[in-house]
Structure 1
Amino acid sequence: MSNLSIQGLWKTFEGHAVLRGVDLSVKSGALLALLGPSGSGKTTLLRTVCGFERADSGTIAIDDRRVAGEGMHMRPEARRVGYVSQEGSLFPHLSVAENIVFGLPYARRRTRDRVAELLELVGLPASYAARPPQALSGGQQQRVALARALAPSPRIVMLDEPFSSLDAALRAETRQAVAAALAHAGATAVLVTHDQSEALSMGHEVAVLWNGRMIQTAVPDELYRRPVTRELASFIGEAVLLQGMASGAEVACDLGRLRLMAPVETGTVDVMVRPEQIKVEPVSSQGHADCDAVEATVEEITFYGHDATLSLRLAERSDPSMEAAVRARVPGHQVPATGVRVRLTVEGEVVAYPR
């Protein structure tokens, strides 16, 4: 197991800065999910760590050994970094076993060193060794690609959106298999993705790259509950953003007087509430005397089976000229009908961003 340390990393293409002073640290044996919108620099960062691109400035160290920095650039093959591409990139003219041992020294390739062990590690039968890659499903091919990356016992494994081409059911199954294989191998890994649910479910930590800058690195729960910017709040899952007035540990907005996770300076703020925090009850519900409840009308329902998203129009709002629709998420068996009037309350604490 190895740690990865990146400090002040810059990379420019044709005068355009793609990476802007990136700092990142990955603990030994951890899986870090690198998240960001398209064009944020995720793949460039991965390729620079692998050694496929030369950094303009800054340093990269693996196990406290510098592999890139001022005046030096270690060759990719000397870095011992495993790489799994988006497509898997298996050789169609080679068998599964030949693909797995492809990057090993000749003597180990000849003996098919650790092929059965690696196939078992990624959840595939040893009998698959003789098959051509095209005889496997997309998810199975990605597992073979991971086995190939793990074969030389790399210090770091880099995965570049390896599940994006798979359908939803196969993607979930392959994620679990890959995460289990990496954990069993004790590998330090960086998973590049633009899929928020993938990053939050797989990463021990999640780092967010935005316009070439690292804007937040945190455990998944912290990142989801306390994103550092309003833009990030909208990018990570769904967010309801309302104007409010903060005072001490509370904020007043169109959803009532709410508790803040962290106090902010008194004044106008944007309040971030997650849709699942908004509790929805019928107006006719007995025993509901919560003075912080607000009334709304169900305008639209998006049903997903296990849950549903409601578009709700507030009966009253502080600024009549502003959009009055909010979204709430409710269990699939508790979906009210369109047009029904309901009461809304917010559970838990919220985040405020000063204007």
Structure 2
Amino acid sequence: MPTAAAEIRHDRPPRLAYERVSHSFTGLAAVDDVSLSVESGEILCLLGPSGCGKTTLLRIAAGIERQKAGRVVIDGEEVAGPNRMLPPEARGIGLVFQDYALFPHLTILDNVRFGLAGRPAGPATETAMRALERVRLAHYAKSYPHNLSGGEQQRVALARALAPEPRVLLLDEPFSGLDRRLRDQVRDDTLAVLRENGATAIVVTHDPEEAMRIGDRIALMRKGRLVQLGTPGALYRRPVDLKAARFFSEINELPARVVAGRVVCALGDLPAPASLAEGASAVVAVRPHDVRIAAAGGLPALVRRHRFLGEVDYLLVEIAGFDHPIEIRAPAGAGCAEGDTIRVEIAADACHIFKGEPA
């Protein structure tokens, strides 16, 4: 008689789907009618600020939380929903927590072997050692967590999650506790391991750069709802609204109005999108690196602040007729100083136009 876990295992990484999933705590919506799929072998990043529902979605897929409505489906079979509720251990899902959750009194080998409870001791040890070899930590098998760095502990947690050979791997802010230099290295190592294993994976993060570096696609969350889903390039270049544009990078926001089919702002005018009616207020959003210093033409701008940031120069400039200064990130060696007047320009295709926000 096959076990429940065996029923959802196939020869390829599975497709995981949330179908109209909602959940709440004490009456407050944590996840609100989310439908989302993670394709076979795909790495999907759940991105958004704290409290937007990312971790709750992860816990629902893992079976730690039971949603109030909707279904979680793996390869077409319901694992959580009104008709079926598989226990966590029967789902073939591995989970890596933000704090690693290692047992301080167990050796590194025993920490990894803990995820193989129920298997004979010999095969479990062999499997745990293979998992440690995958993350290049087999030489620490007899050590304890306190002997390892934060990055090494994170890799042990990854090895423990990989040891049972899960077909879906969930990682909850796995790099947030590491300093920046270590975070970059551990993130790259983790991504390499995920690619080598070919598992379907969901990674939770609040860092848009991290999401773009890791994810095949990104699901942007806000207040429990799915705001936008797509490739990193699509979300960055075509944000669905002003808040999405703000989330991915610093932007200059220029108030504008639609006049005769054009969006008119302090830096000129642009074709109005069909969604904006004549006379409507609008916001033109421009990223600092898309404001360029012009050799000729453009608009005059007074440099109020100049800072060298290594690969770029940061400029804060004032433009006549605009109430707020404009930020520019120009290639290093821009050749200007505070007090200089320069000329700036913006390519039309670098601008994002949104409906004006209420005052």
Give the TM-score normalised by structure 2: 0.89
The corresponding residue for 1:342 is 342
Deviation at 1:202, TM superposition (A): 0.8
Alignment of 1:170-209 (within 5 A): 170-209=182-221
Report the 3-state secondary structure (helix = DSSP H, G, I; strand = E; otherwise coil) of the residue aligned with 2:40: coil
Residues in 1 aligned to 2:218 and 2:335: alpha-carbon distance in whole angstroms:
33
Residues in 2 aligned to 1:309 and 1:3: alpha-carbon distance in whole angstroms:
44
Report the 3-state secondary structure (helix = DSSP H, G, I; strand = E; otherwise coil) of the residue aligned with 2:100: coil
The corresponding residue for 1:274 is 287
1:121 aligns with 2:122: no
* Residue-by-residue CA offset, 1:75-99 (whole Å, 9 max, x unaligned): 1111111100111111111111111
1:160·1:191 contact (CA, 8 Å) conserved in 2? Answer: yes
Alignment of 1:21-100 (within 5 A): 21-100=33-112
Deviation at 1:177, TM superposition (A): 0.3
Could you tell me which runs of 5 or more consecutive residues in structure 1 were left unpaired when the two chains were aligned.
Answer: 318-322
Matched pairs, number? 340
4+ residue stretches of structure 1 with deviation over 4 A? 246-250
1:155 aligns with 2:156: no
Cα–Cα, structure 1 residues 249 and 117, in superposed 2: closer, same or farther, change >3 Å? farther
Residues in 1 aligned to 2:260 and 2:76: alpha-carbon distance in whole angstroms:
44
Amino acid at match of 2:319: L
Cα–Cα, structure 1 residues 8 and 335, in superposed 2: closer, same or farther, change >3 Å? farther
The corresponding residue for 1:315 is 320
1:248·1:266 contact (CA, 8 Å) conserved in 2? Answer: no
Amino acid at match of 2:283: D
Give the TM-score normalised by structure 1: 0.90
Residues in 2 aligned to 1:302 and 1:165: alpha-carbon distance in whole angstroms:
30
The corresponding residue for 1:134 is 146
1:233 aligns with 2:245: yes
Deviation at 1:249, TM superposition (A): 8.5
1:244·1:252 contact (CA, 8 Å) conserved in 2? Answer: yes
1:218 aligns with 2:230: yes
Determine what percentage of the aligned residue pairs are the same residue: 39
* Residue-by-residue CA offset, 1:297-352 (whole Å, 9 max, x unaligned): 122235432224322211233xxxxx321111122333632222111111333221
Residues in 2 aligned to 1:84 and 1:245: alpha-carbon distance in whole angstroms:
48
**RMSD over aligned Cα, in angstroms?**
2.0
